[in-house]
Amino acid sequence: QRRAPGPRRRLGGAGSERAAGAAAAMKSPREAGEPPPVDCIQLKVPVIQQLYHWDCGLACSRMVLQYLNHLDNDEFQKAIQELQLTKSIWTIDLAYLMRHFGVKHKFCTQTLGVDKGYKNQSFYRKHFDTEENRVNQLFAQAKDCKVLVEKCTVTVQDIQNHLSQGHIAIVLVNAVLLLCDLCSSPVKYCCFLPIGQKCFCRSPDYQGHFIVLCGYNKASGSIYYNNPAYADRTCCTSISNFEEARTSYGTDEDILFIYTDS
């Protein structure tokens, strides 16, 4: 995705003053003049498995909210209804979900809206016509809704600085390319499904998927992440593989930074 198959709410909303003042606090660590990241960190982010092929983004959102102690199942379901989220979840939807729960966030992307080039891509084709206007409208209204969106390039160092302070992030990746070094065998991109559900993928070029970043090891050049396709593990991949998967055409290099002081 910007949309991904897949799959925080402040329990009582954050005031507009708090949201308005967040922008200054959400500069990248380097901009804020903060110290360099530690060499290794692995945050204890709870693992929550997606239920269907389309709800990885929602599963990642639940991980974030539980990590921040903001998760209430009834409130989460209510938020999904209020935001009118469907089976087509884009990164901008997750940003609105974070805002709904009063979670301090920053959504970085290469495209402010929908890339029309995706219309011919198999992963986006089915919902493109109906989703284009909806998603573009969300981007257009983001500022007024106090959803922080910025068109910018994010580096690995930016991500490491962010994680080193205990913050986490939801990242859109191409699951076709993402390979976990710890899993016993590579998982096919089309297998991000609960047991018993039929494979829905037919094209090997792109499969949007959301993951939650939770750490890194500079010595080994590794990135740790929770993959909502699983319920029992934290995955690990090389920085080079992670970069390949997150910058693949189709992702817009979407990354939703989450801040713990929410």
Domain ranges of the chain: 3-258
Q: Are 65 and 46 in contact (CB under 8 A)?
A: no
pLDDT of residue 194: 46
- Rounded distance between C-alpha atoms, residue 255 and residue 211, angstroms: 10
pLDDT of residue 102: 97
pLDDT of residue 187: 53
pLDDT of residue 41: 98
End-to-end CA distance of the chain: 26
Distances (CA, A) of 163 to 127, 192, 248: 34, 25, 22
pLDDT tens track for 107-130: 999 999 998 877 777 777 777 778
Query: Six-digit token pair at 124?
Result: 């986006």
Spacing of C-alpha 95 from chain mean position: 9
Q: Are 225 and 212 in contact (CB under 8 A)?
A: yes
- Rounded distance between C-alpha atoms, residue 84 and residue 135, angstroms: 12
Burial zone of 112 (CB within 10 Å; 0-12 exposed, 13-18 middle, 19+ buried): middle
- Rounded distance between C-alpha atoms, residue 237 and residue 221, angstroms: 9
Q: In b/e form, how buried is each residue of 70-83, taking b as 16+ CB within 10 angstroms?
A: bbeeebbeebbeee
pLDDT of residue 205: 86
Q: Are 224 and 211 in contact (CB under 8 A)?
A: no
Kind and range of the H or E run holding 238 = strand 235-238
Class of the CATH domain delimited by 3-258: alpha beta
pLDDT of residue 10: 35
The number of CA neighbours under 13 Å toward the Cβ of 156 is: 17
3-state percent helix, strand, coil for the chain, nearest multiple of 5 = 30, 15, 50
Q: Are 89 and 4 in contact (CB under 8 A)?
A: yes
Instruction: Walk along the chain (262 residues) and give the pLDDT tens digit of each residue.
Output: 555 544 333 333 444 444 444 444 455 544 555 666 689 999 999 999 999 999 999 999 999 999 999 999 999 999 999 999 999 999 999 999 999 999 999 999 999 999 887 777 777 777 777 889 999 999 999 999 999 999 999 999 999 999 999 999 999 999 999 999 998 655 544 445 444 444 444 555 899 999 999 999 999 999 999 999 999 999 999 999 999 999 999 999 999 999 998 6
Q: Is the whole model's pTM more than 0.85, yes or no?
A: no
Strand pairing category for 235-238 and 222-226: antiparallel
pLDDT of residue 81: 97
Distances (CA, A) of 233 to 12, 94, 183: 32, 23, 9
Mean pLDDT of the chain: 84
Distances (CA, A) of 261 to 5, 45, 105: 29, 15, 10
Helices 73-82 and 56-67: crossing angle in degrees, nearest 10, is 130
